């Protein structure tokens, strides 16, 4: 997909024709190429995408035109239900029927429900949320219904962020399709640097770590506690490098086209609490959960808003988040864990509300908070990555009891000592860059772009060279991003 040579050539063609066309036709070109891109994965996917687009477009127009509040609510509910039912059919049918069969097994039933072979339209989890946010924004008058079907279709299908986000709002993305943009060399350079940084994180860090992580999580019983603990830590790095790399690449591509996508990460592993983590990790999803589930739930209970109601709402939000990520009990437990973290933090905040200090906490307190938060997040990643709930609990038990010491499995027997040293050196380079970005509050691509020309090109060449030399192109498909599976 995004990290393939075919996509690179596709983007060059899109870019060249985009700036060659008169401004009034550019939206149409982007729409055509977005559907070509999605159709190249499967023509069947485009049918689902277009149908959901057409229905949500019509319902939003009806909501805006309708004066009767009850009919507005009816169209809103219809839009939300149809969107999530469509998502549910493609994503959760197998999980639901498998769970029913498990219950039947426990009850001793001899019959089972056959599992249908349902294909999964990649990206549907993301553009479903984008569609629902649009319908709800039109209902609350936070956005106007887009009268132009083609431009609304582009909002849903815009190819850089179609598959894995960022999850955009109509009020932010739609107006940009009508902005007059001329080719700008600065946009090109800024975008290319960010794309290069994304490829570095993906190919040099994430895909190299994937080999080790996959080996440990595919057969955890073969590894001792120290190796499982290391694999869990490396997965924390892998998933961040992988997902943030995708966002860097697509935001850089959109930037070259003169379109600004929403930032999706803000140094999440420097978060000082679970709530702070979700302000920094997958920001557009966190904002969606807050605005379209958490706040409406709180508003509905405003007359009797107790700590219990708040806790229930937080758990419901993260139960939804877990289910949204994947149709498996591991994701549900991951979501409930994060919900539990936040519920405890909110309860502690309530107790400490009158004791708040306006002074900045000491550095060691901040460092301690960051360490604890990272530990909690990393613990939850075990369920997120494990292939089953049993595997997850086995890994946790082994790590915390320091068990399975006799296991002889090696995470690194396919590499030389030098290659292992290179991997850890690259991780340290990433860590140093992340710390520098966090402290300076400036992203690395902005730093590179603002350096003198000679230094800038030197850094760019080093970046390209390291991707070519240290990038991993072997067993793991370099085009497969983790979040593409959701």
Which residue from 398, 34, 67, 17 is spatially nearest to 225, judged by alpha carbons?
398
CA atoms within 13 A on the CB side of 449: 18
Three-state DSSP string of the chain: CCCCHHHHHHHHHHHHHHHHCCHHHHHHHHHHHHHHHHHHHCHHHHHHHHHHHHHHHHHHHHHHHCCCHHHHHHHHHHHHHHHHHHHHHHHHHHHHHHHHHHHHHHCCCCCCCCCCCCCCCCCHHHHHHHHHHHHHHHHCCCCCCCCCHHHHHHHHHCHHHHCCCCCCCHHHHHHHHCCCCCCCHHHHHHHHHHHHHHHHHHHHHHHHHHHHHHHHHHCHHHCCHHHHHHHHHHHHHHHHHHHHHHHHHHHHHHHHCCCCCCCCCCCHHHCCCHHHHHHHCCHHHHHHHHHHHHHHHHHHCHHHCCHHHHHHHHHHHHHHHHHHHCCCHHHHHHHHHHHHHHHHHHHHHHHCHHHCCCCCCCHHHHHHHHHHHHHHHHHHHHHHHCCCHHHHHHHHHHHHHCCCCCCCCCCCCCCCHHHHHHHHHHHHHHHHHHHHHHHHCCCHHHHHHHCCHHHHHHHHHHHHHHHHHHCCCCCCCCCCCHHHHC
CA atoms within 13 A on the CB side of 469: 10
**Would you say 270 and 370 are in contact if contact means Cβ atoms under 8 Å apart?**
yes
Catalytic residue among 6, 23, 172, 325: 325
Distances (CA, A) of 478 to 11, 205, 241: 18, 11, 13
Quick check: is 172 catalytic?
no
Cα–Cα dist 29/39, whole Å:
15
Q: Name residues whose C-beta falls within 8 Å of residue 160's C-beta, 6 or more positions apart in sequence.
A: 250, 251, 253, 254, 261
Cα–Cα dist 268/247, whole Å:
14
For the annotated catalytic residues, the residue numbers are 325
């Amino acid at each position: 997909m995004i990290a393939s040579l075919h996509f690179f050539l596709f983007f060059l063609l899109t870019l060249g024709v985009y700036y060659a066309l008169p401004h009034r036709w550019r939206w149409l070109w982007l729409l055509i190429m977005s559907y070509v891109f999605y159709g190249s994965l499967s023509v069947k996917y485009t049918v689902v995408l277009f149908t959901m687009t057409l229905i949500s477009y019509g319902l939003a127009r009806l909501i805006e035109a309708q004066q009767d509040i009850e009919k507005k609510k009816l169209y809103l509910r219809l839009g939300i239900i149809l969107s999530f039912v469509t998502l549910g059919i493609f994503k959760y049918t197998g999980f639901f029927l498998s769970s029913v069969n498990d219950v039947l097994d426990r009850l001793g039933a001899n019959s089972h429900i056959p599992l249908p072979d349902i294909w999964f339209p990649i990206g549907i989890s993301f553009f479903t949320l984008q569609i629902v946010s649009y319908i709800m924004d039109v209902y609350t008058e936070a956005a106007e219904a887009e009268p132009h079907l083609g431009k609304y279709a582009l909002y849903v299908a815009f190819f850089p962020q179609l598959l894995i986000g960022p999850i955009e709002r109509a009020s932010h993305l739609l107006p940009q399709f009508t902005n007059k943009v001329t080719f700008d060399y600065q946009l090109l350079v800024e975008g290319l640097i960010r794309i290069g940084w994304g490829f570095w994180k993906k190919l040099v860090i994430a895909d190299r770590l994937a080999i080790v992580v996959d080996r440990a999580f595919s057969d955890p019983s073969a590894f001792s506690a120290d190796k499982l603990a290391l694999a869990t830590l490396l997965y924390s790095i892998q998933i961040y490098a992988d997902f943030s790399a995708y966002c860097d690449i697509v935001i850089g591509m959109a930037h070259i086209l003169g379109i600004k996508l929403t930032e999706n990460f803000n140094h999440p592993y420097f978060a000082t609490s679970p709530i702070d983590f979700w302000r920094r990790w997958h920001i557009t999803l966190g904002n969606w959960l807050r605005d379209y589930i958490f706040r409406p739930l709180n508003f509905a209970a405003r007359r009797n808003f107790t700590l219990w109601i708040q806790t229930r709402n937080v758990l419901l939000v993260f139960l939804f988040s877990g289910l949204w990520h994947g149709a498996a009990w591991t994701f549900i437990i991951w979501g409930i864990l994060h919900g539990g973290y936040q519920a405890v933090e909110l309860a502690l905040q309530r107790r400490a509300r009158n004791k708040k200090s306006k002074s900045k906490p000491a550095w060691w307190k901040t460092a301690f908070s960051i360490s604890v938060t990272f530990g909690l997040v990393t613990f939850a990643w075990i369920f997120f990555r494990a292939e089953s709930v049993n595997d997850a609990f086995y890994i946790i038990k082994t790590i915390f009891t320091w068990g399975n010491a006799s296991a002889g499995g090696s995470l690194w027997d396919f590499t030389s000592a030098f290659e292992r040293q290179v991997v850890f050196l690259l991780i340290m380079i990433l860590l140093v860059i992340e710390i520098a970005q966090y402290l300076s509050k400036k992203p690395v691509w902005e730093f590179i772009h603002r350096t003198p020309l000679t230094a800038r090109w030197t850094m760019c060449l080093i970046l390209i060279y390291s991707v070519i030399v240290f990038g991993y192109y072997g067993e793991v498909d370099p085009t497969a991003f983790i979040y593409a599976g959701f």
